[in-house]
Amino acid sequence: MFIVEVDEEHAREKAKQGADYYLKPMNCPCHVQIFNQGMKSYRDLPLRMAEFGSCNRYEPSGALHGIMRVRGFTQDDAHIFCREAQIEDETKQFIELLSAVYKDLGFEKFRVKFSDRPDTRAGSDAVWDKAEAALKSATEAAGYAYELNPGEGAFYGPKLEFVLTDAIGRDWQCGTLQVDFVLPDRLDATYIGEDGAKHRPVMLHRAILGSFERFIGILIENFSGRLPFWLAPRQVVVASIVSEADGFVDEIVALLKKHGLKVEADKRNEKINYKIREHSTGKVPVILAVGRKEMEDRTVTVRRLGESETQVRSISDLLAELALEATPPDLRA
């Protein structure tokens, strides 16, 4: 963890109190504190919380690797508070969600690893036996085979690791699901059961992408920079062929932006072939060229990345086509 340095006088005073300050390495305790606000009933479970949480971890300098492994990252973190009887169903739902997200992002296959208790851990062996059995049973019930990954669980519970293989054959652990009986006990999380007594919830820690930074790196390599149109940071560039077309370029850009497309104008005093070459190198999926003829006919010349042929299209027809392509696959009719 990153230790926060303060002035010497403040540090001496805090040292007397046994207090230290650290940058947040995980989001889990914060979610337990939210759960602990007010009284919870068994009827409230499963209770799911999610956030895009920023975390900081003091990774060894030798382990840092571009955006694949960093010291400050954002995680699509979520925690599910449930009863033991709900673990199986929540696990199945999570794996189905993860599979759908990975498929939309172009990953049809992934491997599942089961990581059991590490040497240094919190909780008794009896608690770990129960957690490991519950997670194995839930994974098998969901219809997924898994590889054993001995001793690689978190300090508070066993976990499933969802592993993607990038374009050059490297494996990256992205999604995770962890069963935790320990943290709710240590942070005194409770709910009122059907019998009117207090019970400890089970806490499921889950992430689909894991580190956003790492996943972006995997996507870039997997698609060789040519991200799908709906995912590309720059979807369209509208380039002028002659300066007289600048106003028409602005009109088209405004129309495309109005329909939610990520579009830029290129009105530089450069030849059109130069502009096309530059934006193609930048992996822009669609380049629209606009000159005098296009202005007169209210059309655009369309060049798609990787295609040598161009098309002359009306703006209305092209707009409908691009709007559909810009919609994530799971939201298309």
Report how far apart, in Å, the C-alpha atoms of 15 and of each of 4, 5, 9, 56, 133 are: 13, 12, 10, 23, 42
Are 218 and 257 within one domain? Answer: no
Are 78 and 207 within one domain? Answer: yes
Cis peptide bond prior to 46, omega within 30° of 0: yes
Are 198 and 281 within one domain? Answer: no
The phi and psi torsions of 288 (rounded to 5 degrees) equal -105, 120
**260 Ramachandran zone, left/alpha/beta (phi>0; psi -120 to 50):** left
Residue for token pair 């001496």: 12
For residue 202, what are its two tokens? 């089970």
Contact present, 121 and 180 (Cβ < 8 Å): no
pLDDT at residue 11 in the model: 65
Indicate the residue among 222, 248, 281 that finishes a domain.
Answer: 222
The full DSSP string for 103-126 is HHTT----EEEEE---SS-SS-HH
Question: What's the domain count of the chain?
Answer: 2
Are 55 and 154 within one domain? Answer: yes
Alpha-carbon distance of 114 to 168, in angstroms, equals 24
- 166-190 as b/e, with b when 16 or more CB fall inside 10 Å? beeeeebbbbbbbbbbbbbbeeebb
Are 213 and 285 within one domain? Answer: no
Residue for token pair 């046994």: 18
Indicate the residue among 197, 222, 247 that finishes a domain.
Answer: 222
Are 52 and 153 within one domain? Answer: yes
Catalytic residues: 28, 57, 75, 77, 79, 159, 205
- 278 located within any domain: yes
- 195 located within any domain: yes
Are 172 and 307 within one domain? Answer: no
The phi and psi torsions of 223 (rounded to 5 degrees) equal -100, 10
Contact present, 178 and 158 (Cβ < 8 Å): yes
pTM of this structure: 0.83
- 81 located within any domain: yes
Are 118 and 267 within one domain? Answer: no
- 2 located within any domain: no
Are 32 and 152 within one domain? Answer: yes
DSSP conformational letter for 5: P
- 231 located within any domain: no
CATH number where 178 lies: 3.30.930.10
pLDDT tens-digit profile, the chain (333 residues): 888 776 667 667 766 666 677 889 989 999 999 999 999 999 999 999 999 999 999 888 998 988 888 999 999 999 999 998 898 899 889 998 999 999 999 888 899 999 988 888 887 888 888 888 888 888 888 788 899 898 888 887 889 999 998 777 888 889 999 988 889 999 999 999 999 999 999 999 999 999 999 999 999 988 889 999 999 999 999 999 999 999 999 999 999 999 999 999 999 999 999 999 999 999 999 999 999 999 999 999 999 998 989 999 999 999 999 999 999 888 876
pLDDT at residue 68 in the model: 86
CB atoms within 10 A of CB 164: 22
Are 13 and 118 within one domain? Answer: yes
| Domain coverage including residue 290 | 236-331
Are 257 and 118 within one domain? Answer: no
pLDDT at residue 108 in the model: 84
For residue 36, what are its two tokens? 């602990």
- 255 located within any domain: yes
- 249 located within any domain: yes
Q: How many CA atoms lie within 13 A of 257 on its CB side?
A: 11
CATH number where 268 lies: 3.40.50.800
The phi and psi torsions of 81 (rounded to 5 degrees) equal -100, 120
- 89 located within any domain: yes
Are 119 and 183 within one domain? Answer: yes
